[in-house]
Amino acid sequence: MTLHYIHLILYKSWADLRSEARRYYISYLWWIIEPILEMMVYYVVFGVLLKNKVPHFIPFLLIGLTSWKWFIATVRHEGNSILNSRSLIQQVNLPKAVFPLIVVCTDTFKFLIVFLIILIFLWISHFPVSAAYFTLPLLLITQLALIIALGFFFAAIIPFVPDMDILVDNTLRFVFFLSGVFFDPRTLSPEKQFWFFLNPMAFLINGYRSILMEGQFHDYQRLLIILAASLAGILIANRIIRHFDKIYPRVVAQ
């Protein structure tokens, strides 16, 4: 990936964000208001109506939802990114990994805004900064790598089988309920926990909560395994995308 393509990815991400903001009256404010509205819906349903017993349910829910939303939105956008660029890839000769990387940039930027707001919210709600915060960047980078890896795989396959998009959507929704966004997985039996935390998103969400709410993080081994597996996944998926580089323009032309 040469400097030229990095310029292209960054400029296109910036352009997409700008173009999205120009479409609405309150433009940039939507990036804050929309996630808050969504969180309120979940809070009313799971916190008020279903009377969730988790202590400090609001920060607990906010952290889980935000991290999940970053994951799901980016992976799905990545999955469709090559297919959605069909007219462009028939006119210009570009490495196709450019397209998923553009949505990774825009979605991650939006996530970081919300994440910052949540941090501020936590600080005012008496969850102070602790030494565990040093692990936070590692956790974020691991999730970013996981997002890129999974999204690359879907981006590589979906142009051939657009139906995959529907399957991916439903599978990920299932994973959503198995990621411990609404309940604390540490209340499960140890045996169930073992299986539960094989889901990397469940592990990461639990990790964010440990750091931000309890000021601790222990399982570095598993974190590094997820990071290494994700990096390997990116390399493999990128190879696949490069392998089909000249095939995509033909496939999406159908």
Partner 1 sequence: MTDTQPVLELNHVAFHFIKRKGYFSKQKYWAITDVSFVLNKGECLGIIGRNGAGKTTLLQLLSGIIRPDKGDFVNHGYTTTLLSLQAGFIPYLTGRENTMLNGLYLGIRKSVIKSKLNDIQEFSELGDFFDQPISSYSSGMRARLGFSIAFQLDPDVLLIDEVLGVGDESFRAKSTHKMKEKILSNQTVVIVSHSQSTLRELCNRVVWIENGTTRAEGDTVSVLTAYTSFLKENQPIQPK
**Which sign, positive or negative, has the C-alpha torsion 122, 128, 129, 132?**
negative
User: Can you point out the beta strands (E) in the chain?
Assistant: none
Restricting to residues 38-67, which ones interact with partner 1 according to CB under 8 A? none
Q: Which residues contact 113 (CB under 8 A, 6 or more apart)?
A: 31, 32
- Contact with partner 1 (CB under 8 A) among 32, 54, 88, 178: 88
* Closest separation in Å from C-beta 156 to partner 1: 17
Q: For residues 231 and 148, give the distance between their C-alpha atoms in angstroms, rounded to a whole number.
A: 9
Span of 2-10, 36-44, 59-67, 198-206 interacting with partner 1 by CB under 8 A:
2-10
Q: Which of 225, 191, 197, 177 is nearest to 72 (CA)?
A: 177
Using CB under 8 A as the binding rule, whether residue 221 contacts partner 1 is answered as no
Span of 19-27, 126-134, 136-144, 202-210 interacting with partner 1 by CB under 8 A:
19-27
Q: Which of 55, 77, 76, 66 is nearest to 201 (CA)?
A: 66
* Closest separation in Å from C-beta 8 to partner 1: 4
Structure token digits, residue 55: 């202590």
Specify the DSSP class assigned to residue 188. S
* Closest separation in Å from C-beta 94 to partner 1: 7
Using CB under 8 A as the binding rule, whether residue 92 contacts partner 1 is answered as yes
Using CB under 8 A as the binding rule, whether residue 177 contacts partner 1 is answered as no
Which residue has tokens 């819906």? 41
Using CB under 8 A as the binding rule, whether residue 253 contacts partner 1 is answered as yes
Restricting to residues 233-252, which ones interact with partner 1 according to CB under 8 A? 246, 249-251
Using CB under 8 A as the binding rule, whether residue 136 contacts partner 1 is answered as no
- Contact with partner 1 (CB under 8 A) among 1, 7, 120, 219: 7
Cβ nearer to partner 1, comparing 122 with 252: 252
- Contact with partner 1 (CB under 8 A) among 53, 93, 137, 191: 93
CB 219 within 8 A of CB 103: no
* 130-156 residues labelled b (16+ CB within 10 A) or e (exposed): eebeebbeebbebbbbbbbbbbbbbbb
Cβ nearer to partner 1, comparing 7 with 218: 7
- Contact with partner 1 (CB under 8 A) among 54, 73, 94, 229: 94
Residues for the chain: how many in total? 254
At 199, phi and psi to the nearest 5? -75, 110
* Closest separation in Å from C-beta 14 to partner 1: 9
Q: For residues 37 and 155, give the distance between their C-alpha atoms in angstroms, rounded to a whole number.
A: 29
Q: Which spans of this chain sit near partner 1 (rule: CB under 8 A)?
A: 4, 7-8, 11-12, 15-16, 18-20, 22-23, 87-94, 246, 249-251, 253-254
